[in-house]
Amino acid sequence: AAPTVHQAEAATVSQGVVESNHAGFTGTGFVNYHNVSGSYAEFTVTAAAAGPTTLTFRFANGTTANRPMDIRVNGALAADDLAFGPTGAWSTWKTASTTATLAAGTNRIRATAVAATGGPNLDSLTIGGPTAGSTPAA
Ligand code: GCU
The CATH number linked to 78 is 2.60.120.260
Domain coverage including residue 22: 4-127
Q: Is the CB of 22 under 6 A from ligand 1?
A: yes
Residue 134 in any domain: the answer is no
Decide whether any atom of ligand 1 lies within 6 Å of the 30 Cβ. no
Domains identified in the chain, total number: 1
Amino acid identity at 62 = G
37-41, 68-72, 99-103, 130-134: least confident range? 130-134
- Predicted local confidence at residue 10, as pLDDT: 98
Question: Is the per-residue pLDDT at 132 higher than 80?
Answer: no
* 82 found inside a domain: yes
133 in a domain, yes or no?
Answer: no
Q: Is 87 in the pocket of ligand 1 (CB under 6 A)?
A: no
Instruction: Give the chain's mean pLDDT.
Output: 94
Q: Which residues of 54-76 are buried (b: 16+ CB within 10 A; e: fewer)?
A: bbbbbbbbeeeebbbbbbbbeee
CA of 101 to the centre of ligand 1 (A): 32
In this predicted structure, what is the pLDDT of residue 134? Answer: 47
Residue 136 resides in a domain: no
Ligand 1, residue 19: give the atom nearest the CA: 9
Q: At 69, is the pLDDT very low, low, confident or very high (cuts 50, 70, 90)?
A: very high
- Is residue 125 within 8 Å of residue 59, measured between CB atoms? no
